[in-house]
C-alpha cells in the first residue's frame, strides 16, 4: 500500500520504507507514525523480505523529530503519555522483530528521528547527517526511548551531555561515540546501504534472527541468563536445514546456498 507520507519499495529481498514529509524535514506527526507502523508490518509479513531499510526523503533530513506542532497542542498529561507510549511500542516492534533493520540516515536525525534510528540494528549515515536529542530546548525530554537507548549505545556520560545540553553532533562524532556504525559520502549512501542489506539478505535468516534476539534479550538480563538465552537460540539455529548446509559447504570447500529454513 502507498501513502503520501510513507513510501515503500521492494528491491529483491530488501524492503525500503521512506518517510516522505520533506516540507517538514520528515517530522513524525501522528498520521506518519501510524503509516510507518503499517508499512513496517507489511515488510515483516512478506516472507520474501529479508532486510528492512528505513530512510528519509530528500538530502536534508532523515527525521527532524516528532512533529512539534502536535507537541505544542498536547491537551493533557494523558495525551502526552499516550503519544509517547504509542511511539515507544512501534520502536520496540522495530527493535525486536526477527528481520534485520538498517537505518539509512540521510541528514538530520533529531529527537524522535534519532530515537527511531537507535531502534534499528545497524545505522549507516551520510557525512552530512546530524544527530541529537534536543528536546530539552523545547521544555521536554525524549519520549520515544531516547533516555534509555542512547546511554546503552554511547555510555551514560555522553548520553547525559547530549540530552542535558540538547547538543547536535555531526556524523563523524556519531561514528566515534558508537551512535552509528558507518559514515559514507552523501552521494554514495543508498548504494552503500544496499550493499550492506544485500550481504545480510544472503545470510541464513533463522540464524540472523537468533543472533538478534540473543543480543537484544541478553542485554536486558545478567550475563549468566544472557548466556542461557544464547544457548536456547543456538539450539534453534542448529535445528535448521541452513545449519546442515552451512557446515556441509564448509567441509566441501564451497559457498553455502542457504534456503531460509
Ligand atoms: N516538527 C515540525 N516541523 C518541523 C520540525 C519538527 N520536528 N523540524 C522542522 N520542521 C519544519 C520547520 O518548521 C520548517 O517548516 P516551515 O518551512 O513551514 O517553516 C521546515 O520544517 C524546515 O525547517 P527549518 O526552516 O527549521 O530548516 P533549517 O534548515 O533552518 O533548520 C533544523 C533545520 C535545525 C533541523 C530545524 O528545523 C530544527 O531545529 N527542527 C526541530 C528539531 C527538534 O527539536 N526535534 C525534536 C522534536 S521533539 C521530539 O522529537 C520528541 C520525540 C518524543 C515525542 C514523544 C511524544 C510526542
Query: What are 83-90's contacts with CB under 8 Å, separation 24+?
Result: 83/30, 83/143, 84/143, 84/144, 86/33, 87/28, 87/33, 87/112, 87/115, 87/143, 87/144, 87/145, 88/143, 88/144, 88/145, 90/33, 90/36, 90/37, 90/40
6-201 under CATH 3.90.226.10, yes or no: yes
Mean pLDDT to the nearest integer, 251-259 = 96
Residue 175 pLDDT level (bands cut at 50, 70, 90): very high
Mean pLDDT to the nearest integer, 76-89 = 97
State the pLDDT at residue 3: 75
User: 165 — phi, psi (to 5°)?
Assistant: -90, -10
Residue 1 pLDDT level (bands cut at 50, 70, 90): low
Q: pTM to 2 decimals? A: 0.97
Same fold, 6-201 and 205-251: no
Using the mean position of ligand 1's atoms as its centre, give its distance from the Cα of residue 71 in Å.
Answer: 11
Using the mean position of ligand 1's atoms as its centre, give its distance from the Cα of residue 67 in Å.
Answer: 7
pLDDT in tens, 180-205: 999 999 999 999 999 999 999 999 99
Using the mean position of ligand 1's atoms as its centre, give its distance from the Cα of residue 174 in Å.
Answer: 20
Say which of 135, 230, 241, 252 is annotated catalytic.
135
Say which of 115, 192, 220, 241 is annotated catalytic.
115
State the pLDDT at residue 179: 98
Domain residue limits, the chain: 6-201, 205-251
Report how far residue 132's alpha carbon sits from residue 44's, in angstroms, rounded to the nearest whole number. Answer: 28
Strands 6-11 and 61-63: unpaired
**What is the CATH code of the structural domain delimited by 205-251?**
1.10.12.10
Amino acid at each position: 500500500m502507498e501513502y503520501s507520507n510513507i513510501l515503500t519499495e521492494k528491491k529483491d529481498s530488501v524492503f525500503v520504507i521512506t518517510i516522505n514529509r520533506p516540507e517538514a524535514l520528515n517530522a513524525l506527526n501522528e498520521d506518519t507514525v501510524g503509516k510507518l507502523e503499517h508499512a513496517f508490518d507489511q515488510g515483516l509479513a512478506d516472507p520474501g523480505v529479508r532486510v528492512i531499510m528505513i530512510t528519509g526523503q530528500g538530502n536534508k533530513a532523515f527525521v527532524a523529530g516528532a512533529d512539534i506542532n502536535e507537541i505544542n497542542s498536547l491537551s493533557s498529561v494523558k495525551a502526552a503519555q499516550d503519544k509517547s507510549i504509542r511511539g515507544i511500542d512501534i520502536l520496540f516492534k522495530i527493535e525486536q522483530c526477527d528481520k534485520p533493520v538498517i537505518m539509512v540516515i540521510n541528514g538530520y536525525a533529531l529527537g524522535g528521528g534519532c530515537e527511531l534510528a537507535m531502534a534499528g540494528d545497524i545505522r549507516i549515515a551520510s557525512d552530512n547527517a546530524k544527530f541529537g536529542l534536543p528536546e530539552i530546548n523545547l521544555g521536554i525530554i525524549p519520549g520515544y526511548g531516547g533516555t534509555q537507548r542512547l546511554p546503552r549505545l554511547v555510555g551514560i556520560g555522553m548520553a547525559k551531555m547530549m540530552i542535558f545540553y540538547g547538543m547536535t553532533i555531526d556524523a563523524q562524532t556519531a561514528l566515534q561515540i558508537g551512535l552509528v556504525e558507518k559514515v559514507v559520502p552523501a552521494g554514495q549512501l543508498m548504494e552503500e546501504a544496499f550493499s550492506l542489506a544485500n550481504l545480510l539478505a544472503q545470510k541464513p535468516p533463522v540464524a540472523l534472527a537468533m543472533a538478534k534476539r540473543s543480543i537484544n534479550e541478553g542485554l536486558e538480563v545478567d550475563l549468566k541468563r544472557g548466556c542461557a538465552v544464547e544457548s536456547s537460540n543456538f539450539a534453534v539455529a542448529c535445528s535448521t536445514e541452513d545449519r546442515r548446509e552451512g557446515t556441509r559447504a564448509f567441509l566441501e570447500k564451497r559457498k553455502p546456498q542457504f534456503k531460509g529454513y
